[in-house]
Amino acid sequence: MALAMAGLAACASKPEAPIIAPLSGPLAAETARRMDALLPVDVLILGEQHDAAQHQQIEQGVIANLAARGVLAAVALEMADTGVTTAKLHPTSREEEVRAALRWNDAGWPWSSYGPAVMTAVRAGVPVMGANLPRGEMRASMADSQLDARLPGPALKAQQQLIRLGHCNLLPESQITPMTRVQMARDISMADALGQVAVPGKVVVLLAGSVHANRLLGVPRHLPDTLRVKSVRLLAGEDQGPGTDGAFDTVWATPALPDTNHCARLRTQFAPQADAPAAAKP
């Protein structure tokens, strides 16, 4: 009995090894080379194109690489709101438990795309947390004129122009300022989340869209100067947008995606409002 109790005590005091299968192959080797060039860093922001599947594969590879190095502090997500985390889950937790902890919205963010990166962190014993502004707080941010001062004049105008272009110039001009405030409030929310979990000697990773990763306009503008921040743009094909000089520390290119007319799809969403009879309009 004494020997059995001693054995149990030894097992209880022994830290559990991370449950993570090492990645291999050309992508893993390329990721290791890229990480060698970026480290050391406190905050690493990966700015993806949401519909580029290879970008989510790269994100999983980065998380696996940092976890294997023992320097991954946390993973923050645009894809989940602040206040949710996997910190209390065990590395062996089922995917259903992880999704519940993050209150995952599969309609907005397909779990099949982001689940592998999230689960890689969970299996490594690293917390995954939401960083986005909750939808319930967006309306208040639209009316918050103090947000306008969070970017210098030229950067504010550039952010407003991105809002126009991102909505295919379909938004009424009266909505540009409120929508820009929401964008800035989301960036501030993500920056605050990163600052709360930053750990000296380790790396916090943020997965977000490339506009949020922009050093001149996005999340990096709202992080403390004391943090070493690197911003990576994951770029599918050639950039068709405005110049990005100085906006990112590096660009990781992936093959171009098939042409998709996003503006045509957006016009169909705006059309019912434009075609509605006057009596039905608010």
pLDDT in tens, 210-253: 999 999 999 999 999 999 999 999 999 865 444 457 899 999 99
Q: Is residue 76 part of a domain?
A: yes
CATH number of the domain bearing residue 167? 3.40.50.11550
The residue ranking higher by pLDDT, 104 or 260, is 104
Among the listed ranges 174-178, 192-196, 263-267, which one has the minimum average pLDDT value? Answer: 263-267
- Residue at 270 is within a domain: yes
In the predicted model, what is the mean pLDDT of residues 28-45?
95
- pLDDT value of residue 272: 55
Domain assignment present for 193: yes
User: pTM here?
Assistant: 0.86
Residue 42 lies in a domain: yes
**205, 218, 225, 214: which is closest to 251 by C-alpha?**
214
In a domain, 159, yes or no: yes
Instruction: Find out whether 156 and 119 touch, Cβ atoms under 8 Å.
Output: no
Q: How many CB atoms lie within 10 A of CB 49?
A: 18
**CA–CA dist 105, 88 (Å, integer):** 20
What's the domain range around 233? Answer: 20-280
9 assigned to some structural domain: no
Confidence of residue 191 (pLDDT cuts 50, 70, 90): very high
Q: How many structural domains are present in the chain?
A: 1
Specify whether the CB–CB gap between 51 and 257 falls below 8 A: yes
Is residue 271 very low, low, confident or very high in pLDDT (cuts 50, 70, 90)? low
pLDDT in tens, 100-109: 999 999 999 9
Task: Quickly state the pLDDT bin for 180 (edges 50, 70, 90).
Answer: very high
Q: For every residue of the chain, which 3-state class applies, written as one string?
A: CHHHHHHHHHHHHCCCCCCCCCCCCHHHHHHHHHHHHHCCCCEEEEEECCCCHHHHHHHHHHHHHHHHHCCEEEEEEEEEECCCECCCCCCCCCHHHHHHHCCCCCCCCCHHHHHHHHHHHHHCCCCEEEEECCHHHHHHHHCCHHHHHHCCHHHHHHHHHHHHHHCCCCCCHHHHHHHHHHHHHHHHHHHHHHHHHCCCCCEEEEEEEHHHHCCCCCHHHHCCCCCCEEEEEEEECCCCCCCCCCCCCEEEEECCCCCCCHHHHHHHHHHHHHHCCHHHCC
Has residue 38 been placed in a domain? Answer: yes
- Is residue 183 predicted with pLDDT exceeding 90? yes
Mean pLDDT of all residues in the chain? 88
Q: Report pLDDT for 20.
A: 63
Q: Residue 82 pLDDT > 50, yes or no?
A: yes
Note whether residue 123 is domain-resident. yes
